Structures are given as C-alpha cells and as structure tokens.
Amino acid sequence: AEAIAFYGAHQAGILTPAQDRLHFAAFEVITADRDELIALLQAWTVAAARMCGGDYAGPGGAAGGDYYAPPDDTGEAQGLPASGLTLTIGFGPTLFTDADGVDRFGIADRLPEALRELPPFALDALDPAVSGGDLCVQACANDPQVAVHAIRNLARIGFGTVSQRWSQLGFGRTSSTSTAQSTPRNLMGFKDGTANLKAEDGDLLEKHLWVGADDGADWLTGGSYLVTRRIRMRVETWDRTTLAEQEEIFGRDKSEGAPLGATGEFDEPDFEAEADGVPVIAAKAHIRLAHPTMNGDARMLRRGYSFVDGSDNLGRLDAGLFFIAYQRDPEAGFIPVQRSLSENDVLNEYIEHTSSAIFACPPGVRDEDDWWGRALF
C-alpha cells in the first residue's frame, strides 16, 4: 500500500524492489514542436508525481472539477492506495533524429553514442509494430489497476502530442532487485533473478548500472539504459520436456534454484566441475552462457515480468517473459550476453523474441521545479 518516493537522484522503478505488476508503454511523439514536447514532459512529471503519491492525476480529481469538462482523472483508481507505484521514463533513439537523420527537436547533438538501435541477433522474430518508440513509461505497482490507471492518464494528458505505439502488461515479477526479496519464478517454473544485480550491490551499481559523468552524455549522468524484449515461450513444448532436460538447459535445479552440482540457491556455480568426464553445468547452459565471466564482465539489472496475452489461433498460450534490463552501457551489458545466448542457448528451442526496444532513462527528478528530461532540452 505504501507510496514510493518519486523525487531522488535516480528514477524510482529501477532499483526499487521489483513490484508485482507492470504496464509498460511506448509512445510516438506526433508533434514537431519542441515547446509542445517540453510542455508534455512537464505535465507528465506533475501528474506522475501526484499518482505515485496515491493522488489523482490532476487537482480536479475524478469528479471534483468542472462539470462540463472531461475529468482530471479517469477515476478507476479511486479508493486504491499508491500500491508502490513507480513511473520511469525513457527516451528512444528516434526521439533525437528521424529515419532520415533529421534533428526532430533540436537535441540531435545530445544523442548518446550508446543509444543506438540494437543490432540484429540470431533467431530474432521481431514485429516492428510492437518494437521501438520515441518515449517509454514503465509503470510498476503491486495492483494492476493502479499501473494501468497511471499509463492511461499519461496517454490522456498526452493526447495530440503523443500517441501510444504499443504497450505490454505483466503480471508476476521475474526478478529480485533487492536481497530482501525472495526469488520469484518465471513461467517455465524456474526461480529467476538469483544472480541479478541488486540494490545492496554497492560499487557494482556505479560500475554496471548508472551512467557515469565521464560516459559522454552529461544529461544522462545518474540515468541508465533500458532494453526491453518481449520473449514468447513455447510453453506447450516446454511442458512436454523432461525435468532432466529442463534443468540442463538452465544449469540450475528446478526446486531450489541451486547451480547444478551445488545445494543452495546462492551458491556460486562451478563451471569447471565434471562428472564422468562431462561438465556438470552443460557447455550451453543458460547460466554459463549468460555469466559475466563468459561476456567480458557484462552485468545488468534484470527487472522483467511474466505475461499471458490470451491464446493464439492454434490454441497455444501467447505467454512468456517481458524481459527488461537496465545497464550503464548496452555494449557492456545486454548486447554481448544476448549475442552469446542467441547463438548458443538451447533455451532458444522454447522461446522467440517478438519485440525489442532501447531507451535512455534520465536521472531522477530532484524536486517540484525539476521535470523528466529537463537536462536534455
């Protein structure tokens, strides 16, 4: 029920202990007017601060304003507490320049080197209609209605300035971002988030999560790069796979989540161990391929959610993992790991990446005079 502080050095919703529900939305900016974009970001910041505090999106509330105008708030979160709502904004590469390289809002010279479209990966099955975006807002909360209400009201406020490009609901966190949290399970039934970067990781966060002052984009210092991938799971096929194969694919046991050959969830995996001349953790196990030692010390903060978007026309669940990762530099985080996974992971028989996006998330909003992206304009 508690409210999470909206103001701070970093945006909430990154290191915040992962809430249980997600509504992630990507927008296109449909105005060409820089001042209109700035006005929108300012209006969004005010509404976001209010909603994260458990208040209506606007001062008139759902029914207290002008009777002959649409209400200041859509109303469906009335009576619900803040529910740990966080709203986290990100800017996509297409906000800076259009497809022809034209500077859209006079900020092209501020496009960070690292904010580039992700390279293609083996087996990508991306649908461009639900990929990319000029702006994104990640709404996380412990009540799905609160998360949906927040995105809906931001879209309402943005009417005429932005249009929603795609959005994704998520219903169960698939990571822990604090050692105080127990590790949840993804839709394959495995504990997910065990070896994640966490709020208690001290210096590792400066090294791997937050953009530093010398990283080449002043306005982004204290921010982070966000990569999203909608990963569909072929759950029906997975459910007909033996337990032995399931554990071999991840390199961890299904009940405890311990690395194979160890007993505790948080034991270190021993990648050298062999039994009868065969590696105990398979050469192509997910945790081996994704491990920092295999990818030039690549680390990221994973913050994904499970989704089930109904069934497809063959009666199969349209289900999977909406993967979210934050990092200081995608070239030293997501990209090398995904390259290794996309080329070698046996898990690929059971998954398909259907959407992809990258955003730069600015540092936190300091106080009521500050606004989302101020340092960019």
Q: Footprint of ligand HEM on this chain (CB under 6 A)?
A: 186, 188, 190-196, 229, 231, 233, 250, 252, 286-287, 290-292, 320-321, 323, 334, 337-338, 341, 351
Least Å distance, CB 231 to ligand HEM, is 4
Judged by beta carbon, residue 36 or residue 270, the one nearer ligand HEM is 270
Judged by beta carbon, residue 28 or residue 267, the one nearer ligand HEM is 267
Radius of gyration of the chain (CA): 21
Cα separation, 255 vs 130, in Å, equals 35
Least Å distance, CB 120 to ligand HEM, is 14
User: What burial letters (b/e) apply to 219-244, b meaning 16+ CB within 10 Å?
Assistant: bbbbbbbbbbbbbbbbbeebeeeeee
Judged by beta carbon, residue 89 or residue 287, the one nearer ligand HEM is 287
Judged by beta carbon, residue 231 or residue 262, the one nearer ligand HEM is 231
Q: Which of 206, 184, 219, 222 is nearest to 302 (CA)?
A: 184
Q: Phi then psi for 346, rounded to 5 degrees?
A: -65, -20
Judged by beta carbon, residue 43 or residue 197, the one nearer ligand HEM is 197
Least Å distance, CB 267 to ligand HEM, is 11
Least Å distance, CB 149 to ligand HEM, is 28
Q: What is the 3-state secondary structure (H, E, C) of 175-210?
A: CCCCCCCCCCECCCCCECCCCCCCHHHCHHHHHHCC
Q: Which helix (H) or strand (E) holds 315?
A: none
Least Å distance, CB 131 to ligand HEM, is 15
Residue reference for tokens 């390289």: 101
42 by Cβ neighbours in 10 Å (0-12 / 13-18 / 19+) ranks as: middle
Judged by beta carbon, residue 6 or residue 334, the one nearer ligand HEM is 334
Work out whether the CA dihedral 226, 230, 231, 233 comes out positive or negative: positive
DSSP at 119:
P
Q: Which of 26, 25, 13 is nearest to 95 (CA)?
A: 26
Q: Which of 39, 62, 59 is nearest to 162 (CA)?
A: 39
Least Å distance, CB 12 to ligand HEM, is 22
Residue 327 makes CB contacts below 8 A (sequence gap 6+) with: 208, 209, 224, 225, 227, 299, 300, 301, 333, 334
Judged by beta carbon, residue 83 or residue 186, the one nearer ligand HEM is 186
**Residue 338 exposure: Cα atoms within 13 Å on the Cβ side:** 25
Q: Phi then psi for 39, rounded to 5 degrees?
A: -60, -40
Judged by beta carbon, residue 150 or residue 351, the one nearer ligand HEM is 351
Judged by beta carbon, residue 168 or residue 196, the one nearer ligand HEM is 196
Residue 68 makes CB contacts below 8 A (sequence gap 6+) with: none
Judged by beta carbon, residue 25 or residue 197, the one nearer ligand HEM is 197
Least Å distance, CB 307 to ligand HEM, is 11
Least Å distance, CB 179 to ligand HEM, is 13
Least Å distance, CB 130 to ligand HEM, is 16
Least Å distance, CB 97 to ligand HEM, is 26
**Residues comprising the chain, all counted:** 377
> For helices 34-52 and 144-157, what crossing angle results, to 10°?
150
